[in-house]
Amino acid sequence: MLKPRVYRKKDKDNFNTTGLKHLYWELFDCPTTEGSGYRFMEREPVLILDDIISEFNGWRPSIELAYTSQKYADLLGLTSFSPYRVGKGVRLRVISAPKRMFLVKNLILRGVERIAINEKYIEFDTDNYLFKPNLYLR
C-alpha cells in the first residue's frame, strides 16, 4: 500500500512552492527520488489541482502517487506508457463522497478528460496523446 503524502500548512514554508498557491512540489515526488516532483512532474496537472484546492477551503489532499521513476514504476508494476512515468498523472486518496464529487466536477470543468474513480481514490491525468478521453470506474 502506498503511503499518501499529506499537505500540512506548517510544512509549507520549508518546501518549494514555486508557481503554486496552496500545494508544494515535494508532494509530487517519487518516494525514491527527492526533488523529482519539481524536476519531472508536468506543470499542467499540478496547476489544475492547485487551482481546485484554492476553491475548496480547508481540504488538504492526500497524494498517493504522482511522478514515478523507472525503478519505482517497475516495482509498482506500472506499464511503460503509464502517465505516472512522465509526470502527467496524479492519484489522490479521497474517501468523502462530497469531496469526490467536487473534485471530479472541477477536473471536468478544467478540461481533464481522463479520470478514474474508486471508493478510496481519484486518479486523473493530462496525457491525451496515447489514450482517449474516458471516465473509469474501478
In a domain, 6, yes or no: no
In a domain, 105, yes or no: yes
Residue 121 to residue 103: CA distance in whole angstroms: 11
Average of per-residue pLDDT across 32-60: 91
CATH code at 83? 3.30.1380.10
In a domain, 89, yes or no: yes
> What's this model's pTM, rounded to 2 decimal places?
0.86
For the CA atoms of 104, 107, 108, 112, the dihedral, rounded to the nearest 10 degrees, stands at: -130
In a domain, 41, yes or no: yes
Q: Mention every residue, 6+ apart, whose C-beta is less than 8 A from residue 3.
A: 31, 64
How many domains would you assign to the chain?
Answer: 1
More confident residue, 117 or 55: 117
The answer to whether the CB of 76 falls within 8 A of the CB of 3 is no
> Per-residue pLDDT tens for 60-117?
789 999 999 999 999 999 999 999 999 999 999 999 999 999 999 999 999 999 999 9
Scan for cell 506499464, then name that residue.
Answer: 79
In a domain, 3, yes or no: no
The pLDDT value recorded for residue 76 is: 96
Domain extent at residue 107? 18-137
Provide the pLDDT confidence category of residue 138 given band limits of 50, 70 and 90: confident
Rounded to the nearest integer, the mean pLDDT of the chain is: 88
